[in-house]
A = this chain, B = another copy of it.
Amino acid sequence: MARIVMKFGGTSVANLERIRAAAAFVRREVEAGHSVAVVVSAMAGETNRLVALTDEAGAPAPALDARFVEYDAIVSSGEQVTSALLALVMQNQGFRARSWQGWQIALRTDEAHGRARISAIDAEQIGDAMDNGEVAVVAGFQGIAPSGRIATLGRGGSDTSAVALAAVLGADRCDIYTDVDGVYTTDPRLTKQARRIGKISYEEMLEMASVGAKVLQTRSVEMAMAHKVRLRVLSSFDAPDANAIGTLICDEDEIVEQNIVTAITPDFNEAAVTVLAVPDEPGNAAAIFTKLAEMNINIDMIVQSASREAGFANISFTTKEDDLDRAIEALADVQTAIGYKSLQADRHVAKISVVGVGMKSHAGVASTMFRTLAEKGINIHNISTSEIKISVLIDSDAAEYAVRSLHDAYGLDKVN
């Protein structure tokens, strides 16, 4: 008898029909003799509805204050409803099941309401109930802060709830049911050659998540890696099938035949900013990025190059497109202090990343990328690299062509 944690996202519990479909997946695990905990998100659209109500009441200020505590009490109700509905559906099908709210488990967090971090989970009672044959249906995304108030984990926090629960329960697997049947070598909407990846390492999944692959929250993958929780991504929109394996996200050691490159990940939510003619004096780059950090604007792909004028430099970086306007405002505020000449912004860019743990031990991955793009006449604006990822910034018009060309060049349609 293994302990299994299953997690169903918002689209997988969007209505009673979908909740019944989710119940069928749970039943399969129960009937296989497993002890099962199911973590659920709010019904699709419900969190947005609740956040809109909160906004109408007077949105909490960015600084954390008492108002975020009320925000948490409001938005956490979505998962509360779904967890009880799924428990009810399972009971009506003759199974023993009960819902667990975050405060009932208890899943303990810090006091950072709206983006709380998990500090501990009292898993004994819920583990006993599961081992006793009762399906534990857990409201994701929420816990209880030291003050005794409800705290939410931030958007996408249900994945994190599921992984944390799997870790403390010593679960054999944490299955994430979503609206895709796994992690793909690239976005299947961009090329028919895209194929599902059977196994992928935590490190690769983290790089993919950080560059915009939406399947899993970065934070939940980090937690899975830290606690060696084997994660599986599966579709809840296919019929339950014992042979469906989805994508397993696991330790690198578990992947016997590692590909050099595992995936090509495009990110269209990028914008480039160039600060032109920054006086070449110590502290100016720091002043720019300190200001952006204060505004809570994430930046990426920083490049400094010499300006045409002597004694000046150009500093480029990318940010999320949604943050571009705020980034420009922030930099305008410090123009006098820094004395740069002007700003350029470009929304029509995309970041294409090649991800693979095999890069660590194989040379030539970068040269293949640059040569392929050059052969196709695609101009590279910026380059950034990590140990297992190479990202380039290109015009967004060329992104789809670049993805297809790179997918071919690394032979991702052929290997597994």
Contacts and interface: CB of A to CB of B under 8 A. Distances in A.
A1 interface: no
Nearest to A78: B77
A58 interface: yes
B148 A57 contact: no
Interface string A4-41: 00000000000010010000000000000000000000
A85 interface: yes
A251 B84 CA distance: 43
Contacts of A50: 81
A54 interface: yes
Given A16-B57, A53-B16, A54-B88, A74 B81 contact: yes
B99 A148 contact: no
B57 A88 contact: yes
A16 B69 CA distance: 18
Interface in A96-143: 96, 98-99, 101, 103-104
B70 A98 contact: yes
A80 B81 contact: no
Oligomer copy total: 2
Interface in A141-158: 148-150
A84 B74 contact: yes
Contact of A103 (B71, B89, B103): B103
Nearest to A67: B91
24 contacts: A16-B53, A53-B81, A54-B88, A57-B88, A57-B92, A58-B89, A58-B91, A58-B92, A60-B88, A66-B91, A66-B98, A67-B88, A67-B91, A67-B92, A70-B84, A70-B91, A70-B98, A73-B80, A73-B83, A73-B84, A73-B101, A74-B84, A77-B77, A101-B150
Interface of A: 16, 19, 50, 53-54, 56-58, 60, 66-67, 69-71, 73-74, 77, 80-81, 83-85, 87-89, 91-92, 96, 98-99, 101, 103-104, 148-150
